[in-house]
Amino acid sequence: MRAWTVAAIVAGSLVAQSAAQGRFRIDADQYLAHVRFLASDELAGRGNGTAGIARASAYLAAELKKARLEPGGDADTYLQGFDLAGRDDVAATLTVSAPGGDVSFRLGTQFYPLSASEERDAPGRRPGPLPVVFAGYGISAPGLGYDDFRGVSVDGAAVVVFTHEPQENDPQSVFEGVALTPFSAIGSKADEAAQRGARMLIVIEDPVHLSDRARAASWFEDPQIGEYRIPVVRMDRVRLSRALGGLDFENIARAIDDTLASRSQPVAGASIALPRGLRAANPRGANVIGILKGTVPLSLAEAVVVGAHYDHLGVSGRSSRDGAEGQVHNGADDNASGTALVLEMARVAVRQQTRFKRSVIFALFAGEEVGLLGSRFYAQHPPVALRDTIAMVNLDMVGRANGRVMIGGALAQSPRLRALQASSPLHFDDFRNGYGADSSDNDPFEHAHVPTLLFFTGFHDDYHKASDDWERVDARGAVEIGRIAMEMVAVLADR
């Protein structure tokens, strides 16, 4: 049934419900009130495994209950719990071996882990230290004329890469000027290296940034760890340069910026052992899920998912762009903006419940910033089986519209969506190829062959900075995105 429905939508054979049913009207003031609370200092940046995100999840559950949605979590609650990656018994040092001798790195001052993944022994993979390969920024973007992996093999190696991306401060950069792209994400770099056979990723601060976040002793106070495909550690750049025989990272970065040519190279005679003891301490996370039941009995077993992630960076700042360790990263746009919109979309959907023959599941995900953990868990434990999930609509960073919105996913070219665009004051940009793989919560659904629709208002100078505060959110633009998204959900939920 799902394949037929999606084909019909894309072909334009489904029509909108009658105009007499009215438009979905979202209150901008109520929307902004949610954003202000979620992005307030008292929630301390909603870091995974923290008291702040627990307060956020309680607030979201209370709002879904207030909206009269049915609980979609565990044991007749709105919370769907899952294990987060954490740290426990992490080795105190890592050692790099090179012709000049061994150099040790101390946990919390010269290195710390970004991923709790501990590589399993695999057939054909030798145990013991790994050879080291430097691979620039760890980015492969042939469409932009840039590829750090051109002409170099990283198979079986520990791969050293810079944070961020080339020409970061150049408005004319092919990487969308001064706004960072998904290529800069640690998860994207880890995936790229893993796909090429790398067994470990070593991340060092690119020389454009004076503050080296590998020296952040605050890691002990806020030890969030992601879950990537291979072990990932951040290491002190200056110390690693010495350990690798004086590899001149500053000049290499300058040459890459000047020419966008690869400077990747094996590091002769150097090796590093895989980190051991990265066990999960099993702090808990929770998705927050409410269900609006469909009105047609035969359609109750089918659903449309509306989702957004509500976690952010907390106070550690290790994933931030400004090196602001110890400062609260409120994440107003990323992604209090999408979370608040899901709450208000749920409220207006209940008021017009007769428009939804299929059920609509409103899902707010934790763990996105550390590897899409919440949405991946949902995809493995859905309230409605994914084979009966008609579509997923994802709202990730929708707070900076200022007249435009980007759309991605298989449903971005729906004729019905194009008709809605014609009635909107917003300009719509095609973003189907914008995010890298596994960059947002629609990806686990796409992997399960569920068609998705992504709304996103773009990267900006406050992205992953402590300055991403509620005052910069365009509430009127966001609620217009919510109206368009809700109209699409109504079409998708019509049997």
For every one of its 495 residues, what pLDDT tens digit does the chain have, with 9 covering 90 and above?
454 345 444 444 333 343 334 588 999 999 999 999 999 999 999 988 888 999 999 999 999 999 999 999 999 999 999 987 655 445 567 899 998 899 988 877 788 887 755 554 444 555 579 999 999 999 999 888 999 999 999 999 999 999 989 998 888 888 877 777 788 888 889 999 999 999 999 999 888 776 665 555 555 555 556 667 888 888 999 999 999 998 999 999 999 999 999 999 999 999 998 766 554 445 789 999 999 999 987 666 899 999 999 999 888 555 666 555 568 899 999 999 999 999 999 999 999 999 999 999 999 999 998 788 899 999 999 999 999 999 999 999 999 999 999 999 989 988 889 888 988 999 999 877 655 556 799 999 999 999 999 999 998 889 888 899 999 999 999 999 999 999 999 999 986
- Which pLDDT score is estimated for 172? 86
The dihedral of CA 322, 327, 332, 335: what is its sign?
Answer: positive
Q: Where in the chain is the domain with CATH 3.50.30.30?
A: 93-272
Burial class (CB in 10 A: 0-12, 13-18, 19+), 385: exposed
Q: Where in the chain is the domain with CATH 3.40.630.10?
A: 2-84+283-492
Q: Coil, helix or strand for 245? A: coil
- Which pLDDT score is estimated for 116? 58
* H-assigned helices in 39-134: 51-66
Domain at 2-84+283-492, CATH class? alpha beta
Domain at 93-272, CATH class? alpha beta
* Interatomic CA distance for residues 361 and 493, integer angstroms: 11
Q: Look at the block and give the residue holding tokens 């800069």.
A: 184
CA geometry: angle at 378 spanning 376 and 379, to 5°?
65
Neighbours of 302 (CB within 10 A): 23
